[in-house]
Chains A and B, each alone.
Chain A
Amino acid sequence: MSNEFVRIAGLCAKISDGGTDKEILRGVDLEIPAGEVHAIMGPNGSGKSTLSYVLAGREDYEVTGGTATFKGQDLLALEPEERAALGLFLAFQAPVELPGVNNANFLRTAVNAVRRARGQDELDAVAFLKAVRKETKHLSMSDDMLKRNVNVGFSGGEKKRNEVLQMRMLAPSFAILDETDSGLDIDALRIVAEGVNSLRAPDFSALVITHHQRLLDYIVPDRIHVMARGRIIHSGGPELAKQLEAQGYARFLAEAA
């Protein structure tokens, strides 16, 4: 398929928790063509965040079956940093704090690491600062956040904006946003959504994981998938969000059972 961009088939993964294996993904099938934004909704514990971690390459999950390809490459065979270089970006649900690591230095190191890996010239200090200032202004972030240590002492909203800042600076072609809307007030939500929407392009796709239909008013997806018990159990158009908001997941869960 020439249009193949993100393709996940039969993906199974487990985590070892205190000696016992827990199967979390039980055969996820999902295709996201280039240029499309898809959303995943579903009850807690359905495997949404696990899917994002497995795609980004977190080591505590063991893939037990299935495939995940991106731009025709086997994602699961790549190191996390190689996936980032290829264009994958995960905005974390709960970004970690990095005490002692300056936010601007971190961001510049990351930007130049992916630029190097993509065969682009590195940004010098001046060019970087110019680029980052443009983005922070866009996201209504204070310069002070660049001087602080990564996510240390950041409010929930500041952490999410910092994720979006990283996303924009790293210029991904496939972004996964894991509950980026949680903890955001309505103004911040608008800013974050605008940060995603303005990246929309024929060669950019996104997977938005959320609990709330509200975010999907601002980032209107091409497709919505319902995830439960480690699988995609239903897919539909953007109108599905309203339906879920009104009726909940019960109907789909019953159908899938």
Chain B
Amino acid sequence: MNAIVPAGVSAAAFLDRYASRAGTNPVRDRAADMLRRAGLPRSGVEAWKYTSLRALGDVPFAAAPGTPDDAAVHAIVTGAEQAFALDGAMPRAVFVNGRFDPSRSSLPDGVSVGRFQALDEESDDEPAADVASALNAILAEDGLLLRVAPGVDAGRLLLLSVGAGADGTPISFHPRHRIELGQGAALSVLDLSVGQGAYLNNPVFDIAVGDGARLGHAKMQAEAAGAQHLAVVHAEIGAGGLYDSFTLTLGAALARHEVHVRLAAPGAVVHVNGAQLLDGRQHADLTSVITHAAPDCNSRQTVKNVLSGHARGVFQGKILVERVAQKTDGYQMNQALLLSETAEIDAKPELEIYADDVRCSHGATVGALDPDQLFYLRSRGIVEHEARAILVKAFLHDAVDLIGDEILRATLDRAVESWWNRKDA
């Protein structure tokens, strides 16, 4: 018998699935040990102040079946292609229930593509440092290993995650992706997750952006309504490199997108922008820790929340400026539009600054639609629901507009548009 009682909620269902592999990999063993001791966090733990994973502890998530229903997967993929007007010509890597599906994938030229092998080869990072990464570490089986050679512009890639939940039994999958851009390389990734049924998607990205390289990462989380989504990005940016990320959260009952970025050399730039559009009883959490570990780095963060029904949005943003990181330029803005009396936003900005010559600003706003603006639009003959749509889209526009890649920007713009139209219908 295991005598350890975890501080949080027992992760026994996940740990049981790991039992057969125990002792084969020290990184995984440490992650398992951490989960055994800490458990899944209840809200209140500092890093999980407003989000509880209690619901996960209650569900015996099973491993995904070896062969998912082909017709169901096909329906989900074509549904996503239509809903988001995806460009059929864009190279794509498709993962079904966390496993690479070569038959649905067409990979781009100029990149070296491999499959996830073993954890200790992939990263020097300690994957057990956060709960979602630890959970991924013990159960990861597959993932994309993508290398763009120095100086190569690899264009765009659609990374499509399909969750095909079986009837009755909730499943979980834990893909682990690694993206490496050599010096001066470039790539734009459209990271879309969709699905149906009950499942937990727990992807982890290890990202290394080389000197002067440029990685665009536009994520659209459009999981099934009954799904859970727990994603973590660990990114390290080299001198003059850019990681331009945007996370659009639309789906899942419970979601958390967690970003850990290290600006590791002078002139590195990161954008951790996003929008959370929630309704019903959805709960979504965007948590970021941006570490300025070198001088002259720049971090930019604009996060918008549009919340209706009983939805709850969470934003936690920490900027850590180390002693060496002089001339740091950090900006953080979190804004929420509450469309109902019962929607809620929780925001926790944190600045931790050890250098003395820095510029860091942060701000937060919470509000409803401005009745004066609504009246102005209506007085010009625009009917009320259209006036509301104009104001909500305007609120979101200046965040989505920050996406550097124009094709990705247009795709997310359409996603926002159709989200509102669907909601408004």
Contacts and interface: CB of A to CB of B under 8 A. Distances in A.
Interface string A103-118: 0001001100110010
Interface stretch (B40-48, B109-117, B391-399): B391-399
Interface string A148-184: 0000000000000000001000100000000000000
Interface string B381-402: 1111011001101110110000
A122 interface: no
B373 interface: yes
Given A109-B386, A113-B386, A98 B394 contact: yes
Given A81-B381, A170-B381, A109 B390 contact: yes
Contacts of B381: 81, 84-85, 110, 113-114, 117, 170
Contacts of A57: 375, 378-379
A100 interface: yes
B354 interface: no
Interface in A66-118: 79-81, 83-85, 89-90, 92, 95-96, 98-101, 106, 109-110, 113-114, 117
B376 A96 contact: yes
A22 interface: no
Interface in A183-239: none
A98 B381 CA distance: 16
Given A96-B370, A99-B398, A113 B380 contact: yes
Interface in B357-372: 370-372
Contacts, number: 75
Q: Range of interface residues on chain A?
A: 20 to 34
Nearest to B390: A101
B390 A80 contact: no
A213 B370 CA distance: 34
A109 B391 CA distance: 13
25 contacts: A56-B379, A57-B375, A57-B378, A57-B379, A58-B375, A59-B375, A79-B384, A80-B375, A80-B379, A81-B379, A81-B384, A84-B381, A90-B379, A92-B376, A95-B376, A96-B370, A96-B373, A100-B397, A106-B390, A109-B382, A110-B382, A113-B381, A113-B386, A114-B380, A170-B380
Closest 9 A-B residue pairs measured CB to CB? A100-B394, A84-B381, A114-B381, A110-B380, A80-B378, A113-B381, A100-B397, A101-B394, A81-B378
Interface of A: 56-60, 79-81, 83-85, 89-90, 92, 95-96, 98-101, 106, 109-110, 113-114, 117, 166, 170
